[in-house]
Amino acid sequence: MSRPADTIVKLADYLWWLLPTFMKKKDRAESLVARFTDSWGEQLDEARTTIIAIIPELLAATASGEYLDMLARQRQVFRGTGEDDESLRIRVLAAYIIKRKGGTIPGLIEGLARLGYTVEVLEPFKGTSTWSRFFVRVLGWDGIVSDQHVFYHTIKQLKPAHTLHLVDSSITMGIWDDGGTFDDGGELDDWTNE
């Protein structure tokens, strides 16, 4: 008969089940060994509950609050003022790609895509004396990572080191959070630039 520990509600019962028959000769309620297994079982039940609660907080995909902040710091990503967990999580999960593919145009496109931006990178001066300039045209945005500073910082992290960039956006800049000029900050603006 198989009885794995993870199917048992109380680990004290599992510890009792593991004991050899000669140690279970007395009725369980009167056994000194049963009292030890009950005591150890309670401690192990508390430990199991704690571990089950902690495991999701150790993964960037499921961590929240201060645990997500700790995972972000390990990847040199920091929460913006008023930034929610989902926005930070996207940046934490994208950090590896940003570090690995930084300094390349394909890396720039992929890194911004992981932050929710659809971009086109144009190099109109390639092969000329001003070859180091390129344009980032923002074509779409999913609205989750809304801090403009994160967007521009990511471009600086991802662009080739010897280049200059110009951002052209088909997205009305007014939908981004301006940090409080037209609202209380931390909210997306509801005005549009004409």
* Predicted TM-score (pTM) of this structure: 0.55
Q: What is the pLDDT of residues 130-170, one digit of tens each?
A: 777 888 888 888 877 777 777 888 888 888 777 777 777 76
Q: What is the pLDDT of residues 39-77, one digit of tens each?
A: 888 888 888 888 888 888 888 889 989 999 999 999 888
Q: Domain-by-domain residue ranges, the chain?
A: 5-57, 59-175
Task: Give mean pLDDT, residues 121-137.
Answer: 80
Quickly list DSSP for the chain.
----GGG-S-HHHHHHHHS-GGGG-S-GGG-HHHHHHHHHHHHHHHHHHHHHHHGGGGSTTT--HHHHHHHHHHTT--PPTT--HHHHHHHHHHHHHHHHHTTSHHHHHHHHHHTTEEEEEE-TTTTSTTTTEEEEEEEEE-SSS--HHHHHHHHHHHS-TT-EEEEEESS-GGGS--SSSSSSSSS-------
